[in-house]
Amino acid sequence: MYNTNYHRAESTDDAIAKLGASDDGKFVSGGQTLIPTMKQRLAAPSDLIDLCHIEAMKGITIDGNQITIGAATCHADVATSKELAAVCPAICDLASHIGDPHVRNMGTIGGSIANNDPAADYPSAMMALNAQIMTNKRTIDTDDFFTGMFDTALEEDEIITAVTFPAPAKAAYSKFPNPASRYAMAGVFVAKLKNGMARVGVTGAGSDGVFRHEGMEEALTSDWSADAIADASVDEGDMLSDLHGDAAYRANLVKVMAKRAVEKAG
């Protein structure tokens, strides 16, 4: 790892000021992607500004039907929150299968979403749950937030502070992990919102990162059943194709994972 200067931010304003004072600084949250990337010398920020000690960015609050998860909340806390499990068990289940137990104690929802790894789990849930991404500057609709592989609508000096979404009527996540890396080769989060609309977020498979599958959404909105999406078409041209699985394989996986998720949601 190249040398860097570590700073602990006490607030988002403090973090922005510290970033502004640095040559080529980066925000770090749990660091479970950024630290390994720095060790490989694929990233070499002059300064690291740690967001994990900003109290206002931690914790889960449930206000009636609305769920808000602070950006610095680690995966283990999402996975084991009884309050969250009572209103949206699907997101607890998703969080319980990210990485391994040690990674889940460090990695955060804000870091995962800001990084927008094409195989990350959380972005699919944000898409399906129609979440809003709250930052120190504004609130961004999920459909406007994820702008391509490793790319988001975030500006350089913008920090995710929380994500918020309404509790769905039903939801579930199903993923096919790569047998070696355990990253999703296809992961599908399905949600039936309380207004009756179905939304489907797909991760791991798309050649441009996370996406919504509108064909399946229409089918599931009129008939919430695995059979309803049996004939859905997933465009191979939009799929990743690599040594782990070609585009045709991934297109089929997306459909299989979607059907499993609907069955799991009940």
Partner 1 sequence: MSSLTMTVNGSEVSGDVEDRTLLVEFIREHLRLTGTHVGCDTSQCGACVVHVDGKAVKSCTMLAAQANGCDVTTIEGVANGDLHPMQTAFKENHGLQCGFCTPGMIMSAIDMVNRKGKDLDEATIRSELEGNICRCTGYHNIVKSIQDGASKM
Residue 238 is classified by DSSP as G
Cβ nearer to partner 1, comparing 76 with 109: 76
In the list 9, 15, 67, 76, the residue contacting partner 1 (rule: CB under 8 A) is 76
Residue 126, burial from CB neighbour count under 10 angstroms (0-12, 13-18, 19+):
buried
Residue 39 as a binder of partner 1 (CB under 8 A): the answer is yes
Side-chain-side CA neighbours of residue 162 (13 Å): 16
In the list 106, 149, 153, 256, the residue contacting partner 1 (rule: CB under 8 A) is 106
Residue 251 as a binder of partner 1 (CB under 8 A): the answer is no
Cβ nearer to partner 1, comparing 22 with 207: 22
In whole angstroms, the minimum distance from the beta carbon of 75 to partner 1 comes to 12
Distance between CA atoms of 250 and 236, rounded to whole angstroms? 8
Q: Which residues does 234 contact at the CB level (< 8 Å), separation at least 6?
A: 213, 251, 252, 254, 255
Residue 221 as a binder of partner 1 (CB under 8 A): the answer is no
In whole angstroms, the minimum distance from the beta carbon of 118 to partner 1 comes to 19
Residue 46 as a binder of partner 1 (CB under 8 A): the answer is no
Residue 50 as a binder of partner 1 (CB under 8 A): the answer is yes
Residue 140 is classified by DSSP as E
Q: For residue 187, list its beta bridge partners.
A: 175, 203
CB 126 within 8 Å of CB 113: yes
Cβ nearer to partner 1, comparing 105 with 221: 105
In whole angstroms, the minimum distance from the beta carbon of 162 to partner 1 comes to 22
Q: What would the x/- binding string for partner 1 be over residues 85 to 104, using CB under 8 A?
A: --------------xxxxx-
In whole angstroms, the minimum distance from the beta carbon of 33 to partner 1 comes to 9
Nearest to 87 by CA among 75, 99, 78: 78
What is the arrangement of strands in the sheet containing 211-212, beginning at the earlier edge strand? 170-177, 184-192, 198-203, 211-212
In whole angstroms, the minimum distance from the beta carbon of 18 to partner 1 comes to 13
Residue 202 as a binder of partner 1 (CB under 8 A): the answer is no
Q: What would the x/- binding string for partner 1 be over residues 128 to 167, using CB under 8 A?
A: ----------------------------------------
Q: Which residues of 43-78 are buried (b: 16+ CB within 10 A; e: fewer)?
A: bebebbbbbbebeebbebebeeeebbbbbbbbbbbb
**Which residues are near partner 1 by CB under 8 A?**
1-6, 8, 31-32, 35-36, 38-39, 48, 50, 52, 76, 80, 99-103, 105-106, 182
